[in-house]
Chain A
Amino acid sequence: MAVLNEEQEMLRDMAREWTRNEHPVGAWRKVRDAGQPFDADAWGEMGEMGWAGIIIPEEHGGTDFGWLSLGLVIEELGKSLAASPLVPSALAASAIVLGGSDEQKAEYLPRLATGELIGTLAFDEGPRHTGLKVSTSVHDGRLTGTKAFVHEASRAGLFIVLAQDGVYLVEKGKGISLSKRAMVDMRDHAEIDFNDAPAQKLAAGGDDLAQKILDRARVLTAAEMLGMCQAVFDTTLDYLKQRVQFNQVLSSFQALQHRMADLFTELEMARSAVEGGLQAIDSGFAVSEAAALAKARANDALHLISREGVQLHGGIGMTDEYDVGFFLKRARVLEAAWGSSSHLRDRYAAMKGY
């Protein structure tokens, strides 16, 4: 864990208390069993606690606590698989902070900060993230194109859309139709058709605005994945300490001890990379590299830990009754988000000039 200041510690403790007491994985289970893809009550509480405004400047209704602070909260939410739109909505807000005009900021940021308005990114156009090449286009302020697998789509009131000539704001309404995409994590995903939808350009962010938003998406997603790594690791360790076979607890077997030591090592290296990514955004130094690193390490660590978590639980790890399967399924969705490890390794090499 990075060394935190007092404000960050308070925020982290608050998030930790809330997820532990008010919103454990069981809360998501209830939402899922009720056939809902998200938890509306929980989002209301998060809004009241100010989490939606952590990276929004104070003049626009946020607290401006920074990315490390936001990452700490997201990590805690990842531990309990909280079905909230906090990640995509914070990313939408950051797109406006980075690239919005004064009018756009004044119009959208205060409502995003309270959670009253939910935003999300609509960048990718296929099942695999392939960078910034898209066919969506804008003519006379009207945006047309199809965006695939958009996270937290059905409740979003604001879409940050990548088009050929830049990044646009599109409000929910005319010219937009959603088709639900039910994936293994049972969350709120959809394909979105934009057909001459009214769009405003985020014109102030410079040529690399889309890249900056993507970098932030990678790091924040990695923070959620880090929380999931930690939760699966902790649950698995706990299980090994309780399960008795051959008259011994499983945790006394060296073959399992060494595997857990390996997982612990991967987990801690991923933590360093993710915290490094959050700190890089706060400091503005070498953000793209740090972001690729954070997401790739989180991808690989969570992939390994979620597989081993199921295996080490044995048969009950495959039952719907146990939580570890939820993590496995959500893990793969997030691994695919904003760049698989192979995409990120290729990107990292290219950034380094080889």
Chain B
Amino acid sequence: MASAAEADAQNNAGPSDLDAFREEVREFLAANFPPELRGKSNILSSVEEAGEEGPAEKAWRLAMGEKGWGTPTWPKEYGGGGLTRKQARALEEEMAKVGAWNPIGGMGVMMLGPTLLEFASEEQKHEHIPPICKGEIRWCQGYSEPNAGSDLANLQTMAEDKGDHYLVNGQKTWTSGGQWADKCFCLVRTSRADKHKGISFLLIDMHAPGVEVKPIKMISGMSPFCETFFTDVQVPKENLVGEEGQGWTIGKKLLQHERTNLSGGGALAALNAQPLHKVAERYIGLDESGKLADAELRVRIADFEMRWNAFLLTARRAMEESKAQGGVSEISSILKKAGTKLGQERAELMIEIMGYRGLGWEGEGFEQKELDGTRAWLFGKATTIYGGSTEIQNNIIAKRILGMLDHQ
């Protein structure tokens, strides 16, 4: 983010300043992080229902929100931490040391906040960013429609200019976490004259009259996505971000944040999980020479783990390059495609390793971990489809990175 880069340039914190900052963090954690929450991260993912927030969780969220450290590099004036990258890294490390986790997250942090910082007016920034920094508001994304999936710009939800407000009518789909969200950042059509330039970026209150949400039951048995219907919903004019017709530009920029997080999120999930070969040791066992008893699967697991490590190295390199260049690195374009494919391969290998126990749906005879794995495998099919399918990613790589012409 530009603000952090600027802050880095202005405040090239030397080692001694950083030590002082670390001391501040340690004191803050000692005073505010409830030890009983150690390692129990229950950060609200956008696709899970909010669990009951206990008093300790709430106190921790409020304390971090007050400091702005849940969004450490965002500017202080909007409720962020105003930290340099070095300080943010130090904060992360100090938190990890005591098993503390960031209680502020979700789509507001991952996607909307960075977009608002770039495109919103001062008034909008002051209204919408602080609640994100404090973890008070859950946002959802209103992009896809029944006839606007990969061809997103074909969206038809209409926002009609009624003087002091827009009157919104239309249907969104695959609204992640729509049933639990307070607000929605939405791509709407303000003009039918031009496919791309007729799109605007609008913030809509999910509790407003005329908003209806229906969860969609998926093959995993879960309902992480919704259909969202807008019927004569009145949206104040001041909720338009940027200019009318600028929505496609803003919306695409936001997708870049989404893709970075989607691949990164997959990577993090697997980092926390047991290595595949450990799972295999348990279900398959080792032979007398100390090798996995299924020779063919052993090799495929090794191949997977090596490619997975190459992916992690690539994600790290993309981050380092982006930092050094002060802009998104070219190879960020492959992270979503590569990370989601590997994530799915991993889930399929898990089933192969566990046999029938990897296919349990519910009830007795299965460990909870095994049942969770089944659902994760099925839910994971979404990852190569949402956020720009793998095929769309390939188009983007070919056109923007490799400079190949528009296909016919």
Query: Which A residues have a C-beta under 8 Å from some C-beta of B?
Result: 1-3, 237, 240-241, 248-249, 251-254, 256-258, 260-262, 264-265, 268-273, 275-276, 292-293, 296-297, 342, 344-346, 348-350, 352-354
Give Cα distance in the complex from A254 to B401, angstroms: 15
- Contact residue among A262, A268, A293, A349 (Cβ-Cβ distance under 8 Å from B309): A293
User: B310 near A272 (CB under 8 angstroms)?
Assistant: yes
User: B298 near A349 (CB under 8 angstroms)?
Assistant: yes
Residues of A within 8 A of B299 (CB): 342, 345-346, 349
**With contacts A2-B317, A349-B298 known, is A264 near B397, CB below 8 A?**
yes
Interface size on B, residues (CB 8 A): 46
B321 within 8 A of partner (CB): yes
Interface-centre pick from B277, B291, B317, B393 (highest chain A CB count, 10 A): B317
User: B394 near A354 (CB under 8 angstroms)?
Assistant: no
Q: Is the interface of B mostly helix, strand, loop or mixed?
A: helix
User: A260 near B281 (CB under 8 angstroms)?
Assistant: no
User: B277 near A354 (CB under 8 angstroms)?
Assistant: yes
Give Cα distance in the complex from A268 to B393, angstroms: 15
**With contacts A262-B394, A265-B334, A349-B298 known, is A252 near B408, CB below 8 A?**
yes
B235 within 8 A of partner (CB): no
9 smallest CB-CB distances across A and B, nearest first, come from: A257-B398, A272-B313, A261-B394, A254-B407, A252-B405, A272-B314, A251-B404, A261-B397, A349-B302
- Contact residue among B310, B397, B398 (Cβ-Cβ distance under 8 Å from A297): B310
Residues of A within 8 A of B309 (CB): 273, 293
**With contacts A257-B407, A260-B398 known, is A354 near B291, CB below 8 A?**
yes
B154 within 8 A of partner (CB): no
- Contact residue among B286, B314, B320, B393 (Cβ-Cβ distance under 8 Å from A269): B314
Nearest CB of chain B from residue A316's CB, rounded to whole Å: 20
Interface-centre pick from A272, A293, A353 (highest chain B CB count, 10 A): A272
User: A258 near B310 (CB under 8 angstroms)?
Assistant: no
Give Cα distance in the complex from A1 to B301, angstroms: 28
Sample of 16 more A-B contacts, CB < 8 Å, known A241-B404, A249-B405, A268-B334: A3-B323, A3-B324, A240-B404, A252-B408, A253-B408, A254-B395, A257-B398, A265-B334, A272-B311, A345-B299, A349-B299, A349-B302, A352-B305, A354-B290, A354-B291, A354-B301
Nearest CB of chain A from residue B385's CB, rounded to whole Å: 16
User: B313 near A349 (CB under 8 angstroms)?
Assistant: no
Least CB separation from A354: chain B residue? B277
Give Cα distance in the complex from A290 to B301, angstroms: 17
User: B397 near A346 (CB under 8 angstroms)?
Assistant: no
Give Cα distance in the complex from A271 to B321, angstroms: 13
User: B404 near A257 (CB under 8 angstroms)?
Assistant: yes
- Contact residue among B277, B317, B324 (Cβ-Cβ distance under 8 Å from A272): B317
User: A354 near B286 (CB under 8 angstroms)?
Assistant: yes
Query: Which B residues have a C-beta under 8 Å from some C-beta of A?
Result: 275, 277, 280-281, 286, 290-292, 298-299, 301-303, 305-307, 309-311, 313-314, 316-317, 320-321, 323-324, 331, 334, 337-338, 391, 393-395, 397-399, 401-408
Interface-centre pick from A237, A241, A257, A342 (highest chain B CB count, 10 A): A257
Nearest CB of chain A from residue B328's CB, rounded to whole Å: 14
Nearest CB of chain A from residue B283's CB, rounded to whole Å: 12
Interface-centre pick from A240, A264, A271, A353 (highest chain B CB count, 10 A): A264
Residues of B within 8 A of A248 (CB): 408
**With contacts A276-B313, A354-B298 known, is A268 near B331, CB below 8 A?**
yes
Nearest CB of chain A from residue B203's CB, rounded to whole Å: 34
User: B306 near A293 (CB under 8 angstroms)?
Assistant: yes
Residues of B within 8 A of A262 (CB): 394
Give Cα distance in the complex from A344 to B303, angstroms: 9
User: A349 near B397 (CB under 8 angstroms)?
Assistant: no
Residues of B within 8 A of A3 (CB): 320-321, 323-324
Give Cα distance in the complex from A257 to B406, angstroms: 10
- For this complex, 19 residue pairs linking A to B, each with C-beta atoms less than 8 Å apart, are A252-B405, A252-B407, A253-B407, A253-B408, A257-B399, A257-B402, A258-B395, A260-B397, A261-B337, A264-B401, A273-B313, A296-B306, A344-B306, A345-B306, A346-B299, A346-B302, A348-B305, A352-B275, A354-B301
